[in-house]
Amino acid sequence: MKKQIIKTNIKNFLDDIKISSDAKDFWTRIVDKLSPEEIETFIILKKENPRDLVKAIEILTRRKKALSEKDTKTLKEIFEEEKNMFKDII
């Protein structure tokens, strides 16, 4: 019951964010694996900078796909992109 409530809340949370339906499905599958801190981070991103939230979701979705396909080239590209994002923040 609690997991269903969380999944419903995450769907509502993602409704007004312009991401693919695959990305939304990905988030509803992993939401119960996220820590409260990770969830809070996404809430803050949505409020403060929705573009960063969309980018973070897209990166995580691509990373999950690359991991499942054992695509090391794409993983390296994603890690480089993440590294550059952190440089921009600092």
Name the DSSP letter for residue 22: H
* 37-50 pLDDT, tens digit each: 887 887 787 788 87
Task: Indicate if the pLDDT at residue 1 is higher than 60.
Answer: no
CA 87, CA 90: separation in Å to the nearest integer?
A: 5
CA 27, CA 19: separation in Å to the nearest integer?
A: 11
The range of the structural domain enclosing residue 64 comes to 2-89
**Structure-token pair, residue 45:** 């991103």
pTM of model > 0.85: no
Task: Indicate if the pLDDT at residue 90 is higher than 60.
Answer: no
Q: Which of 3-7, 40-44, 46-50, 84-88 has the lowest mean pLDDT?
A: 3-7
Residue that wins the pLDDT comparison between 50 and 73: 73
pLDDT at 8: 64
In total, how many domains does the chain have?
1
